[in-house]
Amino acid sequence: MTAKTLVGAADEQPRKKIRRKRANNEGTVYQRADGTWCGQVYVLTTDGTEKRKTVYGKTADEARAKIDDLKSKSRQGVPVANRSWKVGEYLDYWLNEVARHSVRKTTYAKYETIVRLYLKPRLGRKKLNRLTVADVQTFLNGMLNGDHAIGTIHVMRNVLSAALTRAMREEILTRNVARLATLPALDPQRNRPWTADEARAFLQAARADQLYPAFVLLLVYGLRRGEALGLRWVDVDFDEGHVHIRRQLVRVGKELHHGPVKTNAGKRSLPLLGMVREALEVQRRGQEIMQEQAKEDWMDTGLVFTTRSGLPIEPRNLARSFARIVKTAKLRTIRVHDLRHTAASLLKKLGVAPRDAMEILGHSRISVTMEIYTHGDGESRENAIKMVNGLFE
């Protein structure tokens, strides 16, 4: 047999099939008995390890496209969640591991209430990575159709948005669907602050009340209620003539909490003005008398404003005293917090610069002060029109 014959014979033999070896971590696509196509691939997870992820599709191409997308993100260092979170589970995690350690106790209490009463009952069972804008919008629309105030509904969305933003930072989600849902604009209704005459009439009516010195602080300095009730004697420097605002007293759930003021901007030193000095000296003498009467029952908390046994004043009791004095004196009804707005408005009328007013009031942002300073009132509008009229006379 010639060499040519041998070569020809070799060509006529059936060729062996060559099977391409699947590349490392290429992924697998297969069809289940029910006809659904599955894709599986190992990808980077949020805990830094690799884990097999399963995706589904109606066709092999759809399943392949999904695992290709996962592989692409994994190569770019974008991990997938290391577990399948439900919304309620993640909200619990966010409250206990994130919010509890990063916000004030009062803020945490508000977050916990919103999560427990509204978010978990209606959205808690949904898978976190499958929560859609439509899901959130339907939830908010349901709240709008109920008896909930628009302000409360805005808080619901804000709390959910804060949790989803954290999930994005942990690379569990790629977008925050709560931000994409819409709500009617929030138009907070403010009570018109008192005029100087109304404020003066209130202080005159409150002079005989045990909490008169606290009301002086609220009106003269624009302190928050908690800041006044949290004031300690060590924060009052009679010699140097300053009042140092450092701490606040607030109710958190079932307990009163005496702690630092809301923000660093809230820490401020204010001059001990004449009427404030007089009111605090009266308070100090009155407290000394109460201490003598209580004797061994006296609790030395160091607070300026206390009960007859030295315990902190319940913030709601100050509000009740305020409302009683306003009603008895037949003054225009406002809230205790509106005394702060009154103080800001009086600073504006006196021509105090916004930056100085910001530091006096302890605002953390100048925009908050400017919101008050740019808020017009009847008197300022009338004066403005008179000035325009004067141009043509």
Do 269 and 335 reside in the same domain of the chain? yes
> Does some domain include residue 368?
yes
- The band of 56, judged by pLDDT with boundaries at 50, 70 and 90, is confident
Choose between 147 and 300: higher pLDDT. 300
Q: Are residues 367 and 326 in the same domain?
A: yes
Choose one of 135, 153, 180: the last residue of a domain: 180
Kindly state whether residues 77 and 95 are assigned to the same domain: no
User: Domain range for residue 64?
Assistant: 25-82
**Whether 214 and 347 share a structural domain:** yes
Rounded average pLDDT over 100-128: 93
Distances (CA, A) of 118 to 40, 305, 393: 37, 37, 61
Considering the domain architecture, whether residues 220 and 369 belong to the same structural domain is answered as yes
Based on the domain organization, do 242 and 265 belong to the same domain? Answer: yes
Residue 21 banded pLDDT, cuts 50, 70, 90: very low
In a domain, 386, yes or no: no
pLDDT band for position 367 (50/70/90)? confident
Is there a single domain that holds both residue 108 and residue 249?
A: no
State the pLDDT confidence band at 81, using cuts at 50, 70 and 90.
low
Query: Which pLDDT score, from 0 to 100, does residue 17 have?
Result: 38
Residue ending a domain, among 148, 180, 212, is: 180
Q: What is residue 197's predicted lDDT score, i.e. its pLDDT?
A: 94
* Domains of the chain: total: 3
Summary mean pLDDT of the chain: 87
CB 310 within 8 Å of CB 291: yes
Cα separation of the two ends of the chain: 129
Tell whether 188 is covered by a domain.
Answer: no
Confidence bin at 271 (pLDDT 50/70/90): very high
Instruction: Report residue 18's pLDDT band, with 50, 70 and 90 as the boundaries.
Output: very low
Tell which of 151, 180, 209 closes a domain.
Answer: 180
Q: Is residue 10 part of a domain?
A: no
pLDDT at 190 over 70: no
